[in-house]
Amino acid sequence: MTTGAPVATKYTFDFVRRSLPEQARSVLEIGCGAGELAARLAGAGLQVLALDSDSACVAEAKARGVDAVALDWPSAIEQRFDAVLFTRSLHHIHDLDGAIAEAVAVLRPGERVIVEDFRSEGGGPCGRAWFSGLVRLLHSAGAFRPDFDLEHTLGKIETVDHEHPLHSSGAIADALARAGPVEADDSAYYFRYLEADLRSPDAVCRLLEYELEMISADAIEALGKRFVLST
Ligand SMILES: C[S@@+](CC[C@H](N)C(=O)[O-])C[C@H]1O[C@@H](n2cnc3c(N)ncnc32)[C@H](O)[C@@H]1O
């Protein structure tokens, strides 16, 4: 089982919890990966069904005790939920409008689609310069584990080169807006690239706080995006 990213998972979990409808009991998570968020939501008392198109991810989520199913979204399912979550999965799903329409279709009336994603088109110049300076400084201070790969990590902030085209955050925002009223917000994201490599969990928390301060001060452009679609 992967060791996971507890700081990043908690950051997402807190956003999901405060975005859920007050009486929410059941949640569908689409593109659950290794099931860390789903496990945490289930641990908080929610009834969670988690889906992923990758059967290895589903096996890992199941090993965490998550009720997980291998399924390529959009798919028709009969169950109904109080919320549907896409965390860093929507930018991968080719049929964006179909994925959102099918998510709305499995919601009980008046419930929500909650999305956390990032600017797959790349961050802005101030953010990139801030991140690369910070990574070099942390590296020279010995903050990373011995197998840390500096060039590989710096490459993550260049335009993402993926085996299939990824949806930009603007395309995701537009597709959600076609489905109903949406609230959008900026969020931290750069810190996720470093969580597995930093020796100290405290350093990950401090990095997240630092990134949030930089976003609030308008000193960098946020790389993370969050959306809540009401139906
Ligand atoms: C970047 S991972 C995010 C995993 C997890 N939600 C997280 O936040 O850490 C994206 C996940 O979406 C899944 N995925 C991509 N396209 C999908 C589709 N059409 N249907 C279901 N899952 C999909 C991938 O297999 C992958 O596990």
Residues of the chain with pLDDT under 50: none
Residue 164's pLDDT is what? 74
Q: For residue 133, what is the DSSP state?
A: H
Neighbours of 152 (CB within 10 A): 10
Residue 203's pLDDT is what? 95
Residue 93's pLDDT is what? 96
Q: Is the CB of 54 under 6 A from ligand 1?
A: yes
Q: Domain ranges in the chain? A: 6-123+152-230
Q: Atom 8, ligand 1: which residue's CA is nearest?
A: 87
pTM for the full model? Answer: 0.95
- Topology, domain 6-123+152-230: Rossmann fold (3.40.50)
Length, in residues, of the chain? 231
Torsion of CA 19, 229, 50, 2, to 10 degrees: -70
Cβ-contact 229, 20 below 8 angstroms:
no
Q: What is the pLDDT of residues 66-76, one digit of tens each?
A: 999 999 999 98
Residue 180's pLDDT is what? 95
Distance (angstroms) between ligand 1 centre and the Cα of 201 equals 25
Residue 121's pLDDT is what? 85
Q: Is the CB of 39 under 6 A from ligand 1?
A: no
Residue 156's pLDDT is what? 86
Residue 110's pLDDT is what? 84
What are the beta bridge partners of residue 112? 83, 230
